[in-house]
Every structure is written in C-alpha cells, then in structure tokens.
Homo-oligomer: A and B are copies of this chain.
Amino acid sequence: MTSRRLTQRGRDRRRQLMDFAAHRFADNGFHPTSVAEIVQGMGVGKGVFYWYFASKEELFLEILKEAQHELRRVQQQALGDEPDPVRRIELGIRASLTWLAEHRHLFSVFQFAAADERFSPAMRRGQDVAVGDVVRHVKEAIVSGRVRDTDPLVMTHAILGVTNNLARTFIFERGDDAEQVADEAVEFCLHGLLGLG
C-alpha cells in the first residue's frame, strides 16, 4: 500500500524488492515479468509483494520515479556553479552518460516506460524536467552569443537524442567506456558533422 508505516526491516525489504524487480523489468520488460517471478526470485511469499506495493504497476512507477530523480540529482550535482552555459551542457552530458553506464538496467527501464502507454505520462513528466534544465543553459548560451540563434527547444531535444542514442548503442550494446562516449557526444553536439572541432 502507499505510504505504509515501515520499520527499518520493512524499508530494507522494500529496497530489495525494488532493486530486484528493476533488474527483472530491465531484462524482460514489464508485462512478461510476473509478480510470481519476482517473489520466487527473492525467495519470499507473494503476500510480501502486496504488503509493500499496491500493484505491479505501482512498483514500476516507483522504480521509474526514483531513477529519474536520482539521475537528475547527479546531473545537478555535476554542474556545481559552473558559470559557462556551454560548459554546463557538456558537464550534464558527461554526468548523464557516466550514471547511465553505472545503472544500465535503469536505462532499460526508461526505454520500457517510454514505450508503454501506461507509463509514458510519468516518463514524459521526468523528461520535461530534464528538457527544462537543458533548455535553460541553451538559451543562456544563445544570449551570450556563444551558440547560434536557433530554437533552443530543438537544440535541447537534439542533444538529448544524441546522448540517448550514443548511450544505448555504445555504452549498452557494445560496452564502451562512458568517458570516451561522452567525449564524442559532446564533440558532435558542439560541432556537428562539419565543424572544425
């Protein structure tokens, strides 16, 4: 149930369930992962699941929300008080890729959430926050004259597209080093194909 009073023991169980389930979801997707599978994998009875979560859906949403929140926290922390907006964008890209590399299963969770009608609203909400963060830096960079004057929203989504796709392809599927991928992502976002680097 939502907001149940939990002891330390309870909070630990809840954590275990969320972590374990997140990995199963990442491997199989939401629908193919059954509650029975989750509780069996943890070696507990089914009642445990429904003691901590109202439904499978709620559990997924909790995992999603927490992951989004955590990613944003890491991004914000990476920015520090960097004054240069272009550099802030770069730092955000780097922080995101590093975090995603360390939490690949949560990247998968994002993918599923984005695809599934049931979760896309929640996904969108988090995405909008991220867009809001980046778009602010882009606007500032345009004002400062460092970036050419084009629709900042387009630029932001282009940056996120590059970041996500490079993460998926090179970090996930090929297992490349996050730092290196980050270098290339930043390079492309700043200069495109033709720029002189």
Contacts and interface: CB of A to CB of B under 8 A. Distances in A.
Copies in the complex: 2
Contacts of A138: 193
Interface string A64-87: 000000000000000000000010
Contact of A165 (B151, B160, B170, B191): B160
Contacts of A190: 192-194
A174 to B, nearest CB: 10
A193 B191 CA distance: 6
Contacts of A98: none
B194 A148 contact: yes
Given A148-B195, A195-B192, A185 B166 contact: no
Interface stretch (A3-11, A12-20, A23-31, A40-48): A23-31
Given A148-B193, A148-B194, A194-B148, A32 B188 contact: no
A61 interface: no
Contacts of A31: 29, 31-32
Contact of A162 (B116, B141, B158): B158
A112 interface: yes
Contacts of A151: 184
A155 interface: yes
Contacts of A163: 161
Interface of A: 27-29, 31-32, 86, 89, 111-112, 114-117, 138, 141, 146-148, 150-151, 154-155, 157-166, 169-170, 184-185, 187-197
